[in-house]
Amino acid sequence: MRDDSVYLNHIADCLLRIERNIANGLDEFLTSEIIQDATLRNLQTMSEATQRLSAEIKSSRPDIEWDLIADFRNVLVHNYLGIDLELVWLIIERDMPPLRQAVNEMIANRHNAGTNKLHFF
């Protein structure tokens, strides 16, 4: 099993990419297939990485709904023809900022404790 730091940094990287992808707003997200594809792919990758985090690290942040993030990956992968892009936008706008903050804090805590081998920020 890999160190949680690898997955935390991977999640942080995906969140940063999503943030860059959607920087020009909802209209561009809804009209650009390239931005949609890149955003959905990073959401899927990020969701998969959360599934690999240890139970211990997840329990350190009970405010994050890790199971819902994992379930969202299944929606993205298995319901690709029926994805509601406006709902995806809402999820990104509502849920990404607290997740990003939590992940960055977890990375910082591990870095300060000397257990973080990678650090993107």
Task: For residue range 71-80, list pLDDT tens digits in order.
Answer: 888 888 887 6
From CA 108, how far away is CA 114, in angstroms rounded?
10
112 vs 40: which has the higher pLDDT: 40
Q: What is the DSSP letter of 116?
A: -
Q: How many CB atoms lie within 10 A of CB 117?
A: 12
DSSP 39-55: HHHHHHHHHHHHHHS-H
The residue with tokens 């690999």 is 52
How do residues 51-89 score in pLDDT, each as one tens digit? 999 999 999 999 999 999 988 888 888 876 789 999 999
Q: What is the pLDDT of residue 119?
A: 46
- Record the pTM: 0.85
CB 4 within 8 A of CB 49: no
Residues with catalytic annotation? 73, 78
Chain center to CA of 51? 11
The arrangement of secondary structure in 4-114, i.e. its CATH architecture, is Up-down Bundle (1.20)
